[in-house]
Amino acid sequence: MRKIALRLAVVLVGVCMAGSIAAAQTSSHAVDAEGHQWWQHAVFYEIYPRSFADSNNDGIGDLKGITSKLDYLKDLGVDAIWITPCFPSPQVDFGYDVSDYENIDPMYGTMADFDVLAAEAKKRDIRIILDFVVNHTSDQHKWFLDSKSSRTSAHRDWYIWRDGKGPGEPPNNWVALFGGSAWKFDPATNQYYYHYFYAEQPDLNWRNPAVKDAMFDVTRWWYKRGVAGFRLDAVETLFEDPGLHDNPILRPGKNAYGDPIEKNEYNTKLPELHDVLRGLRKVADESNGVLIGETWTADVAELNQYYGEGNNELQLPMDFLFAMINKLSPVEFRKQIAAVDAAAGWPTFVISNHDIVRSYDRYGDGKHNDQIAKLMGALYLTLRGTPIMYYGEEIGMKTTPPTRKEDVKDPIGRMGWPEEKGRDGERTPMQWDGSVNAGFSKGTPWLPVPPTYTTHNVADESKDPNSVLEFYKKVLKLRHTNRALLDGNYAALNESDRNVLSYVRLYKDQGVVVALNMSNAAQKVKLDLKHKGFVSIKNLLATGQSEAKGDEVSLEPYGVFIGELTK
């Protein structure tokens, strides 16, 4: 019944806005007066399933664990969860080596567990996004096993096989991102296969239409099971130069794995990848799916290519330039926000994920990290765009890398030690409470629980009105209920201020102002609101002593002030 009503509403909106971009993005989901779709208002939350919640106490998180925490996520203000790969996998790259795209790895549960998770999430209006590893499969995937079985096998051309240059010599100089040559010799068929990542992750040959069809069908299969979309893994690596030209050397010396430092000119970012994204988008549109991209771009011009002409590729290409800002600098953030705000599509902000140091440590000064965690939350949760949170960020989890090589789980950390310690540090178990193993598992967790669990955990922070968690909840609540924060335009204020980042979000005659003190000293700023027609500011949410008087905001060190503008 509800579905039919929604469908009808959309038809009506569609008719009224015929010809506009909003109408072109055919959707059976409700759009608002601005033509915004659900994913433009939603808060996404990345879950690394191994580390979220362990229901059967084998030390590894699982789907039932996620289901048991849906109420927590709902209460926090999460609308969609992106689960990193939970499909059958030898786990060489912890799930990013998929051996069957249409099933669940037994360590995470069963398809029935997935269906329960999907149903329970739906009850709470939480959508599920799966991770789609498009560039490569596991070397244990049946396609690859057949591919390597003989030169004439049905799946031979599903992967990239080439003769060596000469005896013992790979086809060219390309090195894998995860160390060593990108080519692995297979003595049985006397050829090399190509892998951008680990040798256990052979690259699919996307020039083969059969690969395209099979992969597109995978997404259809999951859409039918109720998933709302995909996060597309490593999209820039989909195609390689068929002429196999050697990559140029970027600079002399060796990387952490002892390999030459190359510019990936001939094996990343080939224009053909956009055909695939357009194809995946067409399939997504059949089911109103949303596509998020792992898009490491050099600038916003490149980010724009991922939205595609008339927005026919990814709805949500992640802006990693934002996550790559390495210091708490209003100048840097202002520049990047303005650039992305002017981009061709809807901004997608990320500050942490399972591959990079958490923002808690990137911006923390060692003394005010909790305050800075609140400030970063206030920043990207109040911008125009869709935020993708990372589990544990909301409680101030700290990146905690191993201190001894023998404890490293992420293979790149073992190969690159000590220069590259791997990604274990940002993948540690979620800190639920102050009990043993932070309430994550009664078994031995696959990665040790950081010592900070005694001070930073969900249970204790829920009781402390000044915790990072309670602050996140308040910002998220405001974001979900305030029109200006949902739909308002972004405009920078006081653009030459080197200590305070401030901006307004304007929706019709409503306005919200955000002022963030990125410095270690108290600051007083007069906000330049006149030309926007506002005179003073009413407090909506602030940290500590931060407050507004008239058009002047006082901020404690690293203080946050969010206020409503009045005329």
Residues contributing to the site for Ca ion (CB under 5 A)? 54, 56, 58, 60, 62
Q: How far is the CB of 197 from ligand GLC (least distance, A)?
A: 5
Give the three-state DSSP class for 58: coil
DSSP labels, 387-427: EEEETTGGGT------SSGGG--SHHHHHHTTT---SGGGS
Residues ≥6 apart with Cβ < 8 Å to 19 = none
Catalytic annotation, pick one of 75, 163, 246, 286: 286
Count of alpha carbons within 13 Å of 308, Cβ hemisphere only?
A: 21
Give the three-state DSSP class for 231: strand
Q: How far is the CB of 27 from ligand GLC (least distance, A)?
A: 28
Annotated catalytic, 495? Answer: no
Q: Report what 211 binds from ligand GLC, Ca ion, none; CB cut-off 5-8 Å by kind.
A: none
Question: How many beta carbons lie within 10 A of that of residue 271, not counting itself?
Answer: 8
Q: Report what 96 binds from ligand GLC, Ca ion, none; CB cut-off 5-8 Å by kind.
A: ligand GLC
The DSSP secondary-structure symbol of 128 reads: E
Residues ≥6 apart with Cβ < 8 Å to 138 = 89, 90, 92, 97, 98, 99, 144, 200, 201
Residues ≥6 apart with Cβ < 8 Å to 368 = 520, 557, 558
Give the count of residues interacting with ligand GLC (CB under 6 A).
9
**197 or 333: CB nearest ligand GLC:** 197
Question: How many beta carbons lie within 10 A of that of residue 207, not counting itself?
Answer: 14
The maximal CA–CA distance of the chain, rounded, in angstroms, is: 78
Q: How far is the CB of 183 from ligand GLC (least distance, A)?
A: 17
Burial of 409 (0-12, 13-18, 19+ CB in 10 A): middle
Q: How far is the CB of 121 from ligand GLC (least distance, A)?
A: 22
Q: Report what 233 binds from ligand GLC, Ca ion, none; CB cut-off 5-8 Å by kind.
A: ligand GLC
Check if the beta carbon of residue 90 is closer than 8 Å to that of residue 198.
Answer: no
**41 or 442: CB nearest Ca ion:** 442
Q: How far is the CB of 113 from Ca ion (least distance, A)?
A: 11
Q: How far is the CB of 55 from Ca ion (least distance, A)?
A: 6
322 binds ligand GLC (CB under 6 A): no
**114 or 178: CB nearest ligand GLC:** 178
Q: Report what 449 binds from Ca ion, ligand GLC, none; CB cut-off 5-8 Å by kind.
A: none
**259 or 470: CB nearest ligand GLC:** 259
CA distances from 350 to 243, 322, 378, 464 (A): 36, 7, 13, 26
Distance of CA 224 to the CA centre of its chain: 23
Q: How far is the CB of 228 from Ca ion (least distance, A)?
A: 25
Check if the beta carbon of residue 439 is closer than 8 Å to that of residue 459.
Answer: yes
Give the three-state DSSP class for 436: helix
- For ligand GLC, the nearest residue by Cβ is 96
Catalytic annotation, pick one of 79, 233, 370, 424: 233
**191 or 237: CB nearest ligand GLC:** 237
Gap between the Cα atoms of 96 and 114, Å rounded: 18
Check if the beta carbon of residue 330 is closer than 8 Å to that of residue 497.
Answer: yes
Q: Which of 355, 433, 470, 495 binds ligand GLC (CB under 6 A)?
A: 355
Q: Report what 370 binds from ligand GLC, Ca ion, none; CB cut-off 5-8 Å by kind.
A: none
**60 or 379: CB nearest Ca ion:** 60
Q: Which of 234, 381, 397, 529 binds ligand GLC (CB under 6 A)?
A: 234
Of 472, 524, 480, 528, the C-alpha closest to 504 is 528
Q: Report what 62 binds from Ca ion, ligand GLC, none; CB cut-off 5-8 Å by kind.
A: Ca ion
Gap between the Cα atoms of 562 and 474, Å rounded: 11
**198 or 558: CB nearest ligand GLC:** 198
233 binds ligand GLC (CB under 6 A): yes
Q: How far is the CB of 103 from Ca ion (least distance, A)?
A: 17
194 binds ligand GLC (CB under 6 A): no
Gap between the Cα atoms of 40 and 29, Å rounded: 12
Q: Report what 285 binds from Ca ion, ligand GLC, none; CB cut-off 5-8 Å by kind.
A: none
Annotated catalytic, 556? Answer: no
Q: How far is the CB of 180 from ligand GLC (least distance, A)?
A: 15
**96 or 558: CB nearest ligand GLC:** 96
Q: Which amino acid is at 91?
A: Q
Q: Which of 96, 144, 307, 446 binds ligand GLC (CB under 6 A)?
A: 96
Residues 277-296 that bind ligand GLC (CB under 6 A): 294
Residues ≥6 apart with Cβ < 8 Å to 403 = none
Q: Which of 197, 222, 306, 561 binds ligand GLC (CB under 6 A)?
A: 197
Q: Report what 82 binds from ligand GLC, Ca ion, none; CB cut-off 5-8 Å by kind.
A: none
Q: Report what 56 binds from ligand GLC, Ca ion, none; CB cut-off 5-8 Å by kind.
A: Ca ion
> Which residues here bind ligand GLC, judged by CB under 6 A?
93, 96, 133, 197, 233-234, 294, 354-355
Q: Which residues are catalytic?
A: 233, 286
